Chains A and B, each alone.
Chain A
Amino acid sequence: MTNTENHTVIIGAGHNGLICAAYLAKAGKKVTVLEAGEQVGGAAITREFAPDFKVSAAAHLVFLLDKHVRKELSLDSSGLSFSQRNMKTTALAADGHHLTIAGSSLQGLNISDKDRVAMKEYLRFMGKFAGVVNRLNNRIPPRVGTHNRSDWIGLAKTALNVRLLGKKDMREFLRIAGINIYDVLQENFENPLLKGALSMDGVLGTNLGPRSNNSVFCALQRLSGLQGMATPKGGMGAVSATLADVASRHGATIRTSAEVSQILLDGDHVSGIELADGEQIAASTVISSADPKTTFFELLGARNLEAGFARRVQNIRMRGNVAKLHLALDGIPEFKGLDQERLADRILIAPDIEYVERAFNQSKYGDYSIKPVAEITIPSLKDDSLAPTGQHVLSAIVQYAPYQLKAGWDSEKDVFTEKLIDLISEYAPDIRSQILHKELLTPVDIEREFRITGGHWHHGELAIDQSLMLRPVPRAAQYASPVDGLYLCGAGSHPGGGVMGSAGRNAARAVLGAKDSEDGNA
């Protein structure tokens, strides 16, 4: 091992790993990022899934990217650009009378005035509440039960945030934050398409149905970016490439095809890492952007943890229930009743809220949805770098597809793929004849390709009991782990997943401030 006293190793070049690296390098640290895959980006990558067809392999929309990260790392002047911004959402109806949501304005047939008014009010209070969540997201969560001054201030600030909503809104916030989105939407809206579409905010990427607790919380997390949805030019990989550029420019070293197999210890302190090929790299600080189970069990080893902590890690809920469908299309698909412009926006198959809940039902018992829900984008309509001229790629997040499928994904993957194409065909009847290539990533594939335990995109269910000072688990929720010198910076930490980057930024701040804190991690 080389002698590198103040060397920081970051495991994984996902967006959080890269952001953390950029901040630390900027602060003058000697940083090496080690990525197991052939390209940087983790689950924020663009890759070829068929010859000449490229797609954002996991996440495909940007809407949460931390504005501090964007500003502090000057992403916009570093080459990050978008092919689409402020995307509208169209909820497909079987009869072709779709509903389009553009901000608070609703377009479509049979939309009542009541719904139009309710929509404005809904966005007002949800936006306001999401602001509370947003302010919590870019802070290191305070700890409870300590005598540390900064913890008390953090807790007081959290309470103050909520109190500043005003009496009426605070009461409403406290009423709905923990409940389910089904109830909230039923209270406010009439139109089934609208309720279906809005319910997706609460369940996309999660293991929840609209009637599950925490679905309002997830919707607030989703809205907390307080920005419109966008697709990066060149796909999600462009975000990661920009981040890697920025990190490199600040002096970080990034190595791909460097799979970390073990975190090395010297007594109570990390001493470095070992790569799968046996190479050892010394480091005084190791920061993992891998999910907490991978970090603590696979890389560190549960036996190097205290048992109560290991139990908490084991109990993190992180079973993926989401699949990703990629289609290479020979031509522009034709959706009944959908014009070209809206086709390039965000399209949902979630025709009503009961439909969404029913889709979730089967997954509870280990089956995939008979009638799945989907979030579809066709990014190649506005970005010609993704497919040959005249041809297109369709990228769809589809649920529900449980990680632990009763029948097993080996035999069911092709069946489910066909089911999904059938589903889309209900709205775009000729699409099957246009398909040149197809790819489905089940949670098992996602686990393998992106090295995420359980294939859960958020590295752990987004839920109140797995948030803030409880994410991923107490004693690791301030990014420092119980092992000296080992930190977390991935989506498994506060505030969670989505291409947000706050976890990476917060972790860097925790690492930089670690010496100032009054009593380390209690």
Chain B
Amino acid sequence: MSQTSRQNTIERVDFSHKSHYLTKAFKSPFYSRQEPLNHLKEWGRWADYLSPAAYTCSAMEYFACRNTCTVFDLTPMTKYHISGTDALPYLNRLVTRDVSKIKPGRVGYSVWCADDGQVVDDGTIFHISEGVYRLCSQERHLDWLMTNTIGFDVSLHEETHDVAALALQGPTSCATLKRMGLEDIENMKMFDIRHFPFEGTQLMVSRTGFTGDLGYELWIDPNHAEALWDRLFEAGQLHGIKPMGDEALQMLRVEAGFIQAGHDFMPAHATVRSGYTRSPFELGLGWLVDFKKPVFNGRKALLSEKENGHRYNLVKLDIDGNKPGCDSYVFTKNKKQIGTVTSAAWSPSAKASIALASVEAPHGEPGEELLVEIYYQKELKWSRVMAKARVVKDVFWNPPRKRMTPPDDY
């Protein structure tokens, strides 16, 4: 009996041409356009790329996104290209949801687990064309994805550096793209993928995003990145287009109730301490776990968890007062400590102090009254408040235009 057959081809990423050991960080293909607009010169680091924290003022960028539209560079987003005969069974064993329900030209959100049912990461699966997929996530997973190829005939390669990507989000995003010449863009439904000719290449557009609003993500060959940026800003001029950095995005995604690896949960493969990770049920993502399909990573552990109950609930909190409850402990009304806030923000749109928090089960039923211990500073003097908070069911920002097709023309 031979060695396990490994027919799959795995192309390793060649970083040598990036000379990253000299530059210390990659520059996005949009860098030449971002750099003059980045008045603050505040660059953060996202997956080895320079990424603007804010261009001018994060609050203004936030309001631009909620009222007109903003451009966020998501090139550093980790992207894997998955194809081959077994691409579908491979993905179905990898993630918890049924990937066969993501038809060609559609995108699906999913979560994937280690064998013990703990979340490795969440992300989106783009079914670009029949049997050809792109998996996008925040963290890097090449090792885990390669491990998953054992026994499957798939081709897997990382294409993070080969695809430039922008998120265009906000109420005027559709109008901007229409003005840019993307025909019939208004009829794209949420999670649709379409391809458009663009200056001799192909521009892929998906109606997806991380802001909870009407929005699109644009994917293109990095050699055409600058042209895309220019055309977009030209078309968006009358639609109030603005570049946006990561700080504004954080406010937007908390309003939209989106979780993020490293903030709201620890990726299982980056976690050393036992019990510090979370299962999909503990992140409110039980709806993504499909026990109707056969074996997938974590299935056995999750079945047992479904039967025996889970340890935590991830909840949305509406906190009294105006102090953001960042890094706070969460208590019951009887002052029993039951968890921590994982992400928090003052929501200008909801006019509320909002948070995502991980609390011990069975706490966290909508309507439950909790306390959040918030430390805050006034002119260097620290104070503490035990702010009342309510567990809420719905996300803080969910306008009808997010899913309206065609959306209103602003």
- Same complex: yes
Q: What mask results when residues 300 to 317 of chain A are scored 1 for a CB within 8 Å of chain B, else 0?
A: 011111111111001000
Contacts of A314 in B (CB 8 A): 4, 150
- Residues on B with beta carbons closer than 8 Å to the beta carbon of A297: 4, 150-151
Chain A residues, CB < 8 A from B147: 307-308, 310-311
Interface residues of A in 293-346 (CB under 8 A from B): 293-294, 297-298, 301-311, 314
Chain B positions 107 through 150: 1 when the CB is less than 8 Å from some CB of chain A, otherwise 0: 00000001110000000000000000000000000001001101
Q: B299 near A: Cβ within 8 Å? A: yes
Q: Which residues of A contact B300 (CB under 8 A)?
A: 268, 306, 482
| Chain B neighbourhood of A482, CB < 8 A | 300
A306 touching B151, Cβ below 8 Å: no
Residues of A within 8 A of B151 (CB): 297, 301-303, 305, 310
Interface 1/0s, chain B 55-86, versus A by CB < 8 A? Answer: 00000000000000000000000000000001
B1 at the A/B interface (Cβ < 8 Å)? yes
- CB atoms of B93 and A303 under 8 A apart: yes
What are the interface flags for A244-266 relative to B under an 8 Å C-beta threshold, 1 for contact and 0 otherwise? Answer: 00000000000000000000010
Q: List residues of chain B with CB within 8 A of the CB of A309.
A: 115
Interface residues of A in 254-298 (CB under 8 A from B): 265, 267-268, 293-294, 297-298
**Residue in A267, A293, A303, A454 whose CB lies within 8 Å of B89:** A303
Q: For window 263-293 of chain B, which residues contact chain A by CB distance below 8 Å?
A: 274
Asked if A439 CB lies within 8 Å of chain B CBs, one says no
Collect the chain A residues with CB atoms within 8 Å of residue B3's CB: 453-454
Q: Which residue of A lies closest to B151 (CB)?
A: A302
Complex contacts, B150 vs chain A, CB 8 Å = 297, 302, 307, 310-311, 314
Given A268-B295, A302-B151, A482-B300, do A307 and B1 touch, yes or no (CB 8 Å)? no
Asked if B115 and A307 make an inter-chain contact with CB atoms under 8 angstroms apart, the answer reads yes
- B364 at interface by CB-CB < 8 Å: no
What CA separation (Å) do A314 and B4 show in the bound complex?
Answer: 8
Partner of A293 from the list B4, B114, B295, B298 (CB cut-off 8 Å) is: B4
Q: Are B4 and A306 in contact (CB under 8 A)?
A: no
- Cα–Cα, bound, A480→B151 (Å): 21
Q: B148–A307 contact, CB under 8 A?
A: yes
Which residues of chain B are near A294, meaning CB under 8 Å?
A: 1
Contact mask B299-316 → A, CB, 8 Å, 1/0?
110000000000000000
Q: Mark A451-468, 1 if CB is under 8 A from B, else 0.
A: 111100000000000000
Interface residue? A447 (CB, 8 A): yes
Which residues of A in the span 147-197 have a Cβ within 8 Å of any Cβ on B?
none
CA distance A267 to B225 in the complex (A): 47
* B334: min CB distance to chain A, Å: 29
CB-CB contacts below 8 Å: A400-454 with B: 447, 451-454
| Interface SS majority for chain A | helix
Interface centre among A293, A308, A447, A451 (most CB of B within 10 A): A308
The answer to whether A307 touches B299 (Cβ under 8 A) is no
A11 to B: closest C-beta gap in Å? 13
For the complex, give the distance between the alpha carbons of A452 and B2 in Å. 9
Q: Tell me how far the C-beta of A320 lies from the nearest C-beta in chain B, rounded to whole angstroms.
A: 12
A268 x B294 contact (CB < 8 A): yes
A268→B292 CA distance, assembly (Å): 11
Instruction: Give Cα A310 to B3, complex, Å.
Output: 13
How close is B141's CB to chain A, nearest CB, in angstroms? 11
Q: Are B299 and A306 in contact (CB under 8 A)?
A: yes
Interface residues of B in 1-18 (CB under 8 A from A): 1, 3-4
Q: Which single member of B4, B114, B294 contacts A308 (CB below 8 Å)?
A: B114
Given the complex, which residues of B lie within 8 Å of A307, measured CB to CB? 93-94, 115, 144, 147-148, 150, 297
A427 to B116, CA, bound (A): 58
B49 interface hit (Cβ, 8 Å): no
**Which residues of chain A in 453-507 are interfacial with respect to chain B, using CB atoms and an 8 Å cutoff?**
453-454, 475, 482
Determine the chain A residues whose CB is within 8 A of the CB of B258 once the complex forms: none
Interface string of B331-343 (1 = CB under 8 A from A): 0000000000000
Q: Are B1's CB and A267's CB within 8 A?
A: no
Report Cα–Cα, A2/B295, bound state, in Å: 26
Least CB separation from B274: chain A residue: A145
In the assembled complex, the Cα of A268 lies from the Cα of B144 at a distance in Å of 23
- A303–B151 CA distance with the chains assembled, in angstroms: 6
A residues less than 8 Å from B148 (CB atoms): 307
User: In the complex, what distance in Å separates the CA atom of A309 from the CA atom of B144?
Assistant: 12
A454 surroundings in chain B (CB, below 8 A): 3
State the Cβ distance, B319 to closest chain A Cβ, in Å: 37
List CB contacts (< 8 Å) of A345-375 with chain B: none
Which residues from B are CB-within-8-Å of A298? 1
- B248: shortest Cβ distance to chain A, in Å? 37
Chain B, residue nearest A266 (CB): B294
Beta-carbon contact of A304 and B1 below 8 Å: no
Q: How distant is B228 from chain A, measured CB to nearest CB, in Å?
A: 36
Q: What CA separation (Å) do A309 and B148 show in the bound complex?
A: 10
Residue with the greatest number of chain A CB neighbours at <10 A, chosen from B86, B144, B294, B296: B294
Determine if B115 and A308 form an interchain contact, defined as CB atoms under 8 angstroms apart. yes
A58 CB, min distance to chain B CBs, angstroms: 16
Residue of A nearest to B90 (CB): A303
Complex Cα spacing A311 to B94, Å:
13
Cβ of A198 to closest chain B Cβ, rounded Å: 34
Residue of B nearest to A300 (CB): B151
Q: Judge if B233 is at the interface, Cβ distance under 8 Å.
A: no
B210 touches A (CB below 8 Å): no
Would you call A306 and B152 a contact (CB within 8 A)?
A: no
In the complex, what distance in Å separates the CA atom of A298 from the CA atom of B300?
22
Bound: A454/B300 CA distance, A: 30
A308 to B93, CA, bound (A): 12
User: Whole-angstrom distance from the CB of B95 to the nearest CB of chain A?
Assistant: 11
Please give, as numbers and ranges, the residues of chain B lying within 8 Å of A293 by CB-CB distance.
1, 4
CA distance A475 to B116 in the complex (A): 11
User: Is the CB–CB distance between B1 and A308 below 8 Å?
Assistant: no
A303 touches B152 (CB 8 A): yes
A302 partner residues in chain B, CB cutoff 8 A:
4, 150-152
Chain B: which residue is nearest A452 at the CB level? B1
Interface centre among B148, B296, B298 (most CB of A within 10 A): B148
B152 closest partner in A (C-beta): A303
Q: How long is the Cα–Cα vector from A302 to B89 in the complex, in angstroms?
A: 12
Taken together as a complex, chains A and B put the C-alpha atoms of A236 and B118 apart, in Å, by: 48
What's the nearest-Cβ distance from chain A to residue B148, in Å?
4
Interface centre among A307, A310, A311, A482 (most CB of B within 10 A): A307
Q: Which of chain B's residues has its CB closest to A447's CB?
A: B1
User: Given known contacts A306-B298, A310-B150, A482-B300, what 7 new A-B pairs fall within 8 Å (CB)?
Assistant: A268-B294, A268-B299, A293-B4, A306-B297, A310-B151, A311-B147, A475-B115
In the assembled complex, 22 residue pairs joining A and B whose CB atoms fall closer than 8 Å, in A order, are: A265-B294, A267-B294, A293-B1, A293-B4, A297-B150, A302-B150, A303-B86, A303-B89, A303-B93, A303-B151, A304-B294, A306-B295, A306-B298, A306-B299, A306-B300, A307-B115, A307-B148, A308-B114, A308-B115, A309-B115, A310-B147, A314-B4
Binding site for B on A (CB under 8 A): 145, 265, 267-268, 293-294, 297-298, 301-311, 314, 447, 451-454, 475, 482
Q: What residues make up the interface of B, taking CB atoms closer than 8 Å to A?
A: 1, 3-4, 86, 89, 93-94, 114-116, 144, 147-148, 150-152, 274, 294-300
